[in-house]
Structure 1
Amino acid sequence: MAQAVLEHANITVTNVQKTADMLCKLFDWKIRWASEPGESMDGGTSFHVGSDESYLALYTKGGKGNPGDTYTTIGGLNHIGVVVDDLDLIEGRVREMGFVPNSHADYEPGRRFYFDDLDGIEIEVVSYNT
């Protein structure tokens, strides 16, 4: 059986730099790659933010785009899940940045909470270290 691993998800945000900075500060991620402004599709800008193994592709459109196109929809997804070793540490960072953690839950096999980012994108933070 072949093994498949999720490499990235691509989401549209209002400001790639602000969102990338937030994710790097919260999760100790890095900007793996960044286009120059205007070099991505429709004159947009893209950043790849994450680890060596996986990342989020952040996109901000530059041109008009097509109505109903997913690349023009800010936050067009349910949520992004991020696994961390220390849930309490990350929750502290979330609060320090002015975001409001919610929907805390302990469940088998871990603990989690959610918060909404700068564009209202829901991020689930989960730890399997009990």
Structure 2
Amino acid sequence: MSAILEHSNFTVSNPDATAAWMCDVFGWHIRWSGDSIDGGYTVHVGEENSYLALYRPAKPASPKGSSYTTVGGLNHVAFVVDDLDTCEAAVKKAGFATHMHADYEPGRRFYFHDNDHIEYEMVQYDDA
């Protein structure tokens, strides 16, 4: 048996805005958008076989503390890219500051936070 990640669902403040920068930075497309559970709104953004569901609840709750100290917290999401420098330029153009640059086996990486404080890791492997 094997498993492939089909999608993940994030709660965000503005699904349309988050999907827009993801389309620009990652080269993705919007697969679907519309009304969702409990009066919320969702945008599915990604590729043919995988995507992120970006959900906004009808009545958002206050953000919780640090994900790294919250059981069940999302610490970061990592994506493999074929050109880390071009990706970093696109992330900065989208208005996000990059940090924690590292170069160690098997590749180079950097991190950034979006407007909802979700942390992303971008990595380019040496053999990419």
Q: TM-score range by the shorter chain?
A: 0.7 to 0.9
Q: Please show how residues 52-63 of structure 1 align to structure 2 within 5 Å.
A: 52-62=48-58
For normalisation by structure 1, the TM-score amounts to 0.84
1:80 paired residue among 77, 88, 94: 77
Q: Deviations over 1:19-61 (max 9, x none)?
A: 00011100100111111xxx21111111111111211110001
Cα distance between partner residues in 2 of 1:34 and 1:8: 14
Stretch moving more, 90-99 or 72-81: 72-81
Residue 18 of structure 2 aligns to which amino acid in structure 1?
Answer: T
1:123 paired residue among 113, 117, 120: 120
In structure 1, the gaps of 5 or more residues are none
| CA distance 1:85–1:13, change in 2 (3 Å) | same
* 1:49 matches 2:48: no
Q: Paired residues, what number?
A: 120
* 1:7 matches 2:6: yes
Q: RMSD over aligned Cα, in angstroms?
A: 1.9
Residue 89 of structure 2 aligns to which amino acid in structure 1?
Answer: G
The residue number in structure 2 matching 1:16 is 15
Cα distance between partner residues in 2 of 1:129 and 1:54: 24
Aligned-residue offset at 1:129: 3.9
Stretch moving more, 105-114 or 13-22: 105-114
The residue number in structure 1 matching 2:95 is 98
Aligned-residue offset at 1:113: 0.3
Cα distance between partner residues in 1 of 2:98 and 2:49: 27
For normalisation by structure 2, the TM-score amounts to 0.86
